[in-house]
Chains A and B, each alone.
Chain A
Amino acid sequence: MKTIRYLLIITTGMLLIAACTKFLDKTPAASTTDENVFRTYADFQGFIDPNYSEIRNYIGHYSSTTLDAGGETLNNFISWSPAYTAWSGEYVHYFAGSDASGYGDGTSLFQAKSYGYGINSTNGSGIWTGGWRGIRVCNVALKNYNLLSQATDEEKKLILGQIYFFRAWFHQQIIEWAGGMPYIDSVIAPSDVMRFERLSYQETVERIVKDYDKAIPLLPEDWDETTVGIQKVDPVTGASGNTGRVTKGVALAYKAKALLYGGSPLMNGFSGHDFTYDVDYCKRAAAVGWEMIQLANKLNKAGTKTYYALVPFANYSDNFWKYRNNGYVWTTETIWERMDRSTSFYSFVQRQNSFPRFGGRYGEQVNQLFVDKFEMADGTRYNPDIHDNDNAKRWDFRDPRFRKAILVDRDQHGADSRSILNLYEGSGSDKGTTQQITLPYLLKKFWPAGANGYDTKTSNLIRICPLMRLAEVYLDYAEAVTVAYGPTGSAPGATLTAVDAVNIVRARAGMPPVTAAATGYDSFLDLVRNERNVEFCFEGQYWFDNRRWYLAHLPENKICVDLKFDKDWTTFQRATIKNKVFENPKHYWVPLTRDQTLLYPGFYQNPGWN
């Protein structure tokens, strides 16, 4: 009997062990299956949404003021700012970044390898790293699109439209910095042979355009007009919870931009052609641009407003900063930007435009040659020989955008009497090593008055660098039309000439209209480019444009000029104080990390880097 008893005990023990294989099963609450992620509209949208956090705000970037890498500004002291490295040609260290693996750094503006998911971070996660990750999200979403069962047709279209948009847009971001890339439009499996060769710039653009073409018919003009979007509109205040979502307008504006870039001299040259405009690309850019302009001016379904509108000049700064608790900078003019509401991480007074006496870290200053691009108020060009010494006209009788964007000597930037700038030569001036100021012009565009150590108006200040606003749609159109059809031409079927488009942007700023004659300029194209420089100053566009136009390596674009004058404004003297390192073709594209370029020959390094 006893024997049986113990045998029973042992048998029971063994059975227990067998039962314990269940022990290895997954804790039910810890598992997320494809079903959970892709079944309903809300879940599927939750899978795509992280892509919105991969969008970068240049201002929020670690250690940088904004993407002033084109030579329009100078910082002579802070070696990690783009405005410093732009002049030394050292993309490797603070611009594209560097670490042990070559060109790629945890904190660099382009790579941002180590940021991981920047979902709640100020910084986003890099154009390169975040971009490719976003592209994978799109491809995974597309692959699982058939799992989306609990959604209306409208919801399905919205999902699909966003997927195609983001796939195109991330590629577009990457190639604007780094040149043509493989176009990844499927989910790459670990077992796949990953030997995609780099496409030429224009080949990549064609693939981008295809995805935009798929996205455009699927996306709404305004999410507030969709059944699913209207639920996100506050019935009392009318505040929309859809702000910042991809719309048809975003896709159209970026499609036009992709084509314009594809047809630009640098990109044309790097696609195996001459370093001149490709007229055909410009024609296509013009056509899409016109589509977008029509959409912008169309009345919404309720008939209450147009889908987009330029912000009145009095409210111009709304595009760049706002005092707002837990809100966003977003205007009727905004087409695309990161939805950034963080104000605390890099507090204003700590770094960014403000300089030591004002309680900041360092100020960034403007190259005199860039200041010269701002016309006189009457539409004539600024003439250094005459105007430099004209105290009435040098800074006051200028394009109104000048004083919106740039601070000069004797400006008071705040209520406190100490917030007056002293940018002359001599004792008592802020110019010099103590305040780390070299040039007599400070950036104002992203810096509201009073955001300084005296007035301390810094809380709840949100600043954004827009990525696409309506003004650019007009100027992209103007450039494309000028190349394709001439200043007075227009896209087929369009009622807007290049001259008209430029004048719309100028009129908002209160500048007199121009004509095809382009008085004071070498050509109308030259005028369009100047208009672009002025309108988008310090928004990062200058760096892209000067490269795109294949101008950045020219000697005249590699000079930094200072204006020296005395406290009483009696003599004004120019002096070249710095020359830029910009080798052709090396500095036209950012370097890629060695972990990429050493993998296989088809994924080659950009020229000039090793």
Chain B
Amino acid sequence: MKQSDMNKIYIKILVSLLALNVIFQVSSFAQQVVVVKDESGNPLPGAMVTVGEGSKPVMTNEKGEFTLKIESKTLVLFEAEGYEPQYITAFPAVTFENVAMEKSSYMMSSKDKIKVPFGVFRKGQIPGAVTAVNSSDLVKYDESKNFSSAILGKIPGYFGSNDNRGLGAPLIVVDGVPRPGTDYNIQMIDQITVAKDLFTSMLYGGQAKNGVIYITTKRGSPLHKSLNFTVQGGVNDPISYPDFLSSAQYMTLYNEALANDGLPAKYTQEYIDGATAGTDPVHFPDESYYNSTYLKSYSSYLNVVGEASGGNDIAQYYVNVGLNRSTGLLKIGEGANEANNRINVRGNVDYKLNNILKVRFDGAAIFNIRNQPRYTTPGTDFWTLSSTFYPNIAPVLIPVSLLEDQALLGAAKLIDGKYLLGGTSEYLTNIYGELSRNGPEQTNQRLLEMNIGLDFNLDPITEGLSASVFFTYDLENIFRTDIMNSYAIYNPIYPAGQDTISSWKKSNIDAKVNTQTLSDVSFSRRNALYGKIDYHKVSGDHEITANAIGYFDQYTLEGVLQPTKHMNIGIRANYMYKQKYIAEITGLVSGSTKLNETAPWVFSPGVGLGWILSNESFLENNQSINYLKLRANMALTNNEEGLNVYYAGHDYYTQSSTFSYNHGLGTAYSRLMYLGNPDLGYEKRFNSNLGFDALLLNNKLTLEGSWFYYKTSDVITQRTNYLPSYFGSYYFENYGSYSNTGVELGAGYTESIGDVILKIGSNFTWAHPKTIVIDELNYNEDYRKAAGKPTDAMFGFVSLGLFHDQTDINNSVLQTFGTVKPGDIKYQDLNNDGTIDDLDQKMVGNSHATVDYSFILSLKYKAFELFALANGQTGSETYFNNAYYWVYGSRKYSDVVLNRWTPSTATTATYPRLTTLSNENNFRNSTFWLYNKNWFTLQTLQLTYTLPAKIAGIQEARLFARADNLMTISKIKDMLQLNIGTAPQTRFYSLGVSITL
């Protein structure tokens, strides 16, 4: 049966069903033996047959038979691996004895349906570079936490999970509308379509300039009733903590740094010796913070998801309820309660009102609740404090037993009945106090999402015509509540030469309040509306799929007058001939609120072609080339995403009524912020792709690959390097261009050996971005120019090592970044002008990886399946230049300074001389601080056991054990895995069970 005929039948069935529905229902029963046959008329054993809503599927026997006991008008679903599913309604409309199944053609079956922006295509129809991941397949062996971990390593063309071909973050679209989607559990998601090229993404306009990740949530499907529970629990095991120097080491080296600067020592030897001895930690503190007093050895993770879905041909539903909780590593006070909790509820309903109109209604709510200690300075936390607090300033806890005169204690509030919090009048913050005495803080994020869709079947007007209107309304509300308690700190005073405390200086007070303080309240609203008209018709060798869309979205943040708006009107028409030749065109008109308001419209065209060679007669029966498609497309799109202002064609003033200067008639002022440029136009991006999809070697090897080229021009820029200062203002103009060329390849190989099924896969991406024209200084030196170099070029000085001694300095070129001393970094004079200055910087590395690659392994043995995913990147460099590595001034000393320059280690030192000043010479980006960043990580290892037999009422049950971020190989592994000032990176181990009823 041909597809079009099937459709006709289906529609007729629906129409008649509806008619019958309205009339009084007459029930009658029949029982008969039905034989399911394949396309050649042979019986098909193992096909699944579902009779009516809510019943269990039955499997056909080896003769392809099953016995049908059925009420009239019941919908029956026939499914078999490799065949198109069929819905047939039982008598009296249709009677059936032999059901013929239609074999799925590769990439053209209903299982190959790929949801792309504003449409659904079968994979074979698409001339674009598109990769899709179905979560229901995925979760069977890979229990990812969210969509981005689900696609990590699985998309050829992606760097990590959020960087499309090196261009940057793609647009995330959920159910047709740009939304973050980050809080969705993986079970909620039906399909993740990654549209890499501009051609496939362009109907979303300028927003989609870096491609689209198009996510759809699950919906109910007729007769597929299921109830699923997944529970996963695990632990996060911290990988490493910073190594800061001990108190004695720190004081010794700080004195050394002072000496290097010609300044007298700050710490006396007595103090240093006291800290070294460690016998009196109150008098001579040595606080490290990264220890078991403060930290648990691991944090926990729990994820519970329940799903229910089902329905009949009239109404379908999908419900997802989830709870996700991850705790923190802190052990004390409010820190012990630190947790992120997420609760989500979603219901997606489809209801067919009549044979013309179908309604979709989706509602979702997500609550994110974060509990943590309240920190005195907002924005700080345990990790920032512990990476900046010196080890030697004050003891965290002072045992009151050390107090000479206990009467002095008065009403002091003790910790555990025996400690006071230490501090000084300069250092009022005590980490223990922050965690245990400062009150809790709760951050709430509430997200509500609503979609309403109307689908019109317009077959009565023209066959194959349909239309829909879709409206979404999202609401986000964030607020924080604090209980603003406070604590007192005590600075002990020791009488000379004694170990008991005679008195102290108290700062701040112990206070407990009963009120909550509300802060950081924000509301935002995102709504979108689109209408579309679809046309799909198969007639003979011709298949036409066309859409016309009108799309609007708007994001409004409370307090911001001008909302972000997008508006696109477009058409897309796909034509397929003989399932061999594909031609598709796309045209889009977009409007802008950011450019000149009198002419905000722009047109973007795209064209794509495909040729399925394997359907040609010369390849038709080739066993080594089972499928081969060539595809090519190009698109030229327009965007103004880089512009953060509105109506840039006009002069823009800010006005304020709070002019706190003494001038003006009291209050108001207005300021010209930038100059309008009526000629400002869209930034243009052209993209062409050449690619192929192939199935080779007796259906064992799949290959896909694309070559891509992007050219971005007319970049919206403020040309600060072109304008003389005396211009006195700024304006936006179209200037600059850059390109990006690359290759992406994906391969998968399947082999069955006995009971073992082995699948291996690999993805590879190479991208080469290049600056063509950019607003930069008119340098005389070519090496100093960014144009002609990669867009991610890192400019820096070339280090020649450290100056050994004064003679070395005297014999070297003059460096102009402050006075140079032995032990400072020596730079290369690139332009040979006898001085080292800003002109002596050249490209020393790439900040973005050139290559991303991954390996996927799946090994299935009977009920066991082992899944492993590893990925890596090469071709980039990084400066280690944060406070942990650039230790100067008053920064806390880490172990990187141990191998510093001293006169005696002048030849072996790997770190510059220490300094308490800023040292502009050493602490600037140079090859001294540059490291190659190549890495390879075993991201995921999961072992799944699927219960072989169906136990009482359970359709399927899986047990799994999973580990994430298991192992990294890199020359700078320790540095890459170390977080400073934030919670540590972790390895994740978990166990879980998933049961489908």
Contacts and interface: CB of A to CB of B under 8 A. Distances in A.
Interface stretch (A126-134, A262-270, A564-572): A126-134
A92 B263 contact: no
Given A3-B460, A30-B561, A43-B670, A10 B533 contact: yes
Contacts of B675: 190
A410 to B, nearest CB: 24
A396 to B, nearest CB: 33
Interface string B774-797: 000111100000000000000100
Interface string A26-70: 110111101011000111011101101100000000000000000
Interface string B837-854: 110010000000000000
A140 B458 CA distance: 59
B410 interface: no
A576 interface: no
Interface string B592-604: 1100010010000
A182 B533 CA distance: 61
A598 B839 CA distance: 13
Nearest to A29: B561
B267 interface: no
A27 B552 contact: no
A128 B726 CA distance: 9
Nearest to A140: B672
B351 interface: no
Nearest to A191: B679
B662 A23 contact: no
Given A101-B838, A194-B723, A49 B917 contact: no
Interface residues of B, number: 76
Contacts of A10: 467, 533
Nearest to B563: A27
Given A17-B550, A26-B562, A599 B668 contact: no
Nearest to B600: A24
A153 interface: no
Interface stretch (B290-298, B646-654, B945-953, B955-963): B646-654
Residue from B663, B668, B917 whose CB has the most chain A CB atoms within 10 Å: B663
Contact of A2 (B460, B467, B550): B460
Contacts of A42: 664-666, 668
Interface in B236-286: 262-264
A24 B670 contact: no
B659 A34 contact: no
A547 interface: no
A228 B663 CA distance: 13
B653 A32 contact: yes
Contact of A47 (B467, B469, B669, B779): B669
A417 interface: no
B653 A93 contact: no
B662 A339 contact: yes
A448 to B, nearest CB: 23
Given A6-B460, A49-B664, A196 B724 contact: yes
Residue from A46, A99, A436 whose CB has the most chain B CB atoms within 10 Å: A46
Interface string B661-687: 111111011111001010000000000
B96 interface: no
A304 interface: no
A24 B591 contact: yes
Given A21-B591, A80-B918, A120-B660, A136 B563 contact: no
Contact of B661 (A49, A88, A139): A49
Interface stretch (A238-246, A315-323, A464-472, A536-544): A238-246
Contacts of B467: 9-10, 13
B724 A596 contact: yes
Residue from A49, A99, A139 whose CB has the most chain B CB atoms within 10 Å: A49
Contact of B727 (A80, A88, A132): A132
A486 interface: no
B731 interface: yes
Interface in B554-588: 554, 561-563, 565, 567, 569
B721 A595 contact: yes
B98 interface: no
A132 B725 contact: yes
A137 interface: yes
A561 interface: no
Nearest to B919: A79
A299 interface: no
Nearest to A194: B724
A41 B838 CA distance: 48
Interface in B740-798: 777-780, 795
Contacts of A88: 819
Interface in A569-610: 593-596, 598-599, 603, 610
Given A46-B665, A135-B728, A32 B670 contact: yes
A128 B262 CA distance: 36
Contacts of A117: 671
Nearest to B261: A77
B531 A17 contact: yes
B132 to A, nearest CB: 30
B92 interface: no
A236 interface: no
A101 B777 contact: yes
Contact of A24 (B592, B724, B838): B592
Given A6-B356, A46-B669, A182 B726 contact: yes
B720 interface: yes
A133 B727 CA distance: 8
Contacts of A328: 662
Interface in A268-317: none
A98 interface: yes
A341 B469 CA distance: 59
A486 B752 CA distance: 110
A184 B729 CA distance: 13
A593 B778 CA distance: 12
> What are the 4 A-B residue pairs with the smallest beta carbon separation, nearest first?
A136-B728, A30-B561, A49-B664, A598-B778
Given A47-B671, A244-B662, 9 more contacts: A6-B456, A26-B562, A27-B563, A29-B561, A79-B819, A100-B841, A190-B731, A341-B662, A598-B778
14 contacts: A7-B461, A20-B550, A21-B567, A23-B567, A25-B597, A47-B670, A90-B818, A117-B671, A134-B728, A140-B672, A184-B726, A228-B665, A232-B665, A610-B833
Interface of B: 262-264, 356, 456, 458, 460-461, 467, 469, 531, 533, 550, 552, 554, 561-563, 565, 567, 569, 591-593, 597, 600, 646-647, 651-655, 659-666, 668-672, 675, 677, 720-729, 731, 733, 777-780, 795, 816-819, 833, 837-838, 841, 917-918, 920
